[in-house]
Every structure is written in C-alpha cells, then in structure tokens.
Amino acid sequence: METIAIQVDHDVAKAYREATPTEQRKIQQLLNTWLKQTMQHRPLDDIIHDMQTQAQASGLTPEILSDILADG
C-alpha cells in the first residue's frame, strides 16, 4: 500500500480523525476499493454493488455505506 493525500471537507476529516483505528482501516479499504473500481470506468451501479459487498465483508452496515454515498 502507498499513502496519498486527498482533500475532503472538514466534517469528513474530523470524523476520520476521531474514528478508531479499526474503523479507519475499514474506511481505507472501502476507499481503496472504490478508487480502483472508479478508475476502471465501470458503471456506477456495478461499483455501488461491489462497494456494498466489500463494506459488508468489512463490517460496515448498509446504513453507514448509504450515509457515506449520500454525503459524497
């Protein structure tokens, strides 16, 4: 894995900083998956479905994922 810097709004940065290390790893996995899929130019519905599957496997609930997508 490599580290990159991405600008996000204040609330996102604050929530990430306040998350537990486990939650931060889950967020990193989710973002990594999303970025990979986005860069493959796949249909958005396919990307969202795959993100939901990955999120559930990582312990994120559909509600949390919906909130993340809605805030984006």
Answer yes or no: is 18 within a domain: no
Q: Cβ(45)–Cβ(69) under 8 Å?
A: no
**Residue 58 domain flag:** yes
User: Is 22 a domain residue?
Assistant: no
Residue 21: inside a domain, yes or no?
no
**Domain membership flag for residue 55:** yes
Distance CA 33, CA 55 (A): 10
pLDDT value at position 55?
A: 76
Q: Is residue 10 part of a domain?
A: no
Query: What is the Cα–Cα distance from 38 to 10, expressed in whole angstroms?
Result: 24
CA dihedral 64, 38, 48, 44 (to 10 degrees): 130
Cα–Cα distance for residue pair 69/3, rounded to 1 Å: 23
Tell whether 72 is covered by a domain.
Answer: yes
The boundaries of the domain holding residue 62 are 44-72
The structural domain count of the chain equals: 1
Q: What is the pLDDT along the chain (72 residues), one digit of tens a residue?
A: 889 998 999 999 999 999 999 999 999 998 998 888 777 777 778 877 887 788 788 887 777 767 777 765
Residue 49: the pLDDT is 84
